Amino acid sequence: MTDHDIRVLDESNVRTAHTLFRGALHSGPAPDDKWELVKDSYDPGRAFGAFQGDEMVGTAQSWAIRLAVPGGAELAGAAVSRVGVRADWTRRGVLSALMRRQFQAYREAGEVVSTLRASEAVIYGRFGYGVASRGRQLKLDRRRVSVSPSAGTGGRIRLVDQDTALTLAPELYDRIGLTRPGMTTRWPTWWEMNLRREMRDENAQTAVHRGADGDDGYVVYSVKSGMSEPHGTSVLTVLDVVAGSPEVWAELWRYLLRVDLVDQVVAELRPLDEPVEWLLADRRVLKVTDVEDETWLRLVDLPAALAGRSYREAEPVVLEVRDRYLPDNEGAYRITPDGAERTSAAADLSLDVDLLAATYLGDVSFTELAHAGRIDVLDAAALPRADALFGTAVKPWAGTYF
């Protein structure tokens, strides 16, 4: 393993880092006009480069976020992105060095967790990241859709122009808040890099629901028309749904399913338990075409992360946690309905930190992991207790891609 010089990047070298990252994905450098749109998304002090002499061979960066956890608390964290190693420097410890430096920086900043979206599923588990939420891909034959009757909300849905959307959507997202474990805050440049890009490149539309007390939800979608092609298919793609109540959520989806001149409605990475099919007279019209990983979660400060979420009623369980990259996280933790703390008591279950991250938001149970042979069961009676303690009323989901 080669020693690597990991440096905090500044304005003089973030474009080099961006070009390196794009190259790792087999893309060329961003042209000047594209770079002008991207450069402000590099937050000062949050981008790192791995150097050999004066030559950058790897990079990683992040944004500061807050993550909703079971019980409603929000933990300080980092959203990791633009991770890349130059092709001629892979498998030499560059990524490991970058990960270690990021973990150190997060702890120094008081950030308890980090999260990313993985381009390849086999990379990040060894650094302690576990799949903590997943999403469904949905496809509906719009021509066969019959929406079930509803009393509605008494509100109204209206289309807004792009400038209004860029102001109103962030305000609504922040006001409605993080309503599900796994959701994160969205940093200012997220909106520029996502909503503005969707409106520019995909002609995305924004529809806003207004209730008795004001605006309380919105949906962003795009339509690719098939009218210009023989036998073409018009596809409506759902890009973002934010609602202040279940009733508003239902009205926004009913709106989407009633847009004219559409043959198919598709949506990616929707919550596993989102009841879209129950809006339909014929549930078979909705097809789940895939289920994919969404949140990859790293418990950076394990004691703080375990103490930061709530637990449901069950007898205590003692977890022994292994953490190769952050060994001071290792040890036994006693989990009770009142919280979590380190203990010298004998462990009931033993597991690696990436698997604990997978259970942390409620996506997978300890019993499922045990059945797959992924955790060490020292007391079989502890499995239902651990499942109950870590259980959640809803499936975790982030809804923010980066």
**Is 221 among the catalytic positions?**
no
Question: For position 326, which CATH number holds?
Answer: 3.30.1050.10
Tokens of 5: 């010089």
Tokens of 194: 């996502």
Residues 174 and 250 in one domain: yes
Q: Can you give the residue range of the structural domain that contains 354? A: 302-390
Residues 106 and 241 in one domain: no
Measured between alpha carbons, how far is residue 322 from residues 93, 327, 364, 370 in Å? 21, 7, 19, 16
Residues 193 and 268 in one domain: yes
Residues 321 and 271 in one domain: no
Of the candidates 124, 127, 311, 366, the residue annotated as catalytic is: 124
Residues 313 and 287 in one domain: no
What is the value of pTM for the model shown?
0.95
Residues 351 and 255 in one domain: no
pLDDT of amino acid 230: 62
Task: Please check whether residue 343 lies inside any domain of the structure.
Answer: yes
pLDDT of amino acid 228: 62
- What amino acid occupies position 301? D
pLDDT of amino acid 3: 80
Asked which of 292, 310, 329 is the last residue of a domain, the reply is 292
Task: Please check whether residue 297 lies inside any domain of the structure.
Answer: no
pLDDT of amino acid 304: 98
Residues 255 and 345 in one domain: no
Residues 229 and 258 in one domain: yes
Asked which of 272, 292, 312 is the last residue of a domain, the reply is 292
Q: Average pLDDT of each block of 10 consecutive residues along the chain (402 residues)?
A: 87 97 97 95 98 97 98 98 98 97 98 96 95 98 94 95 97 98 97 94 96 97 82 93 98 97 97 98 97 98 98 98 98 98 98 98 98 98 98 98 96
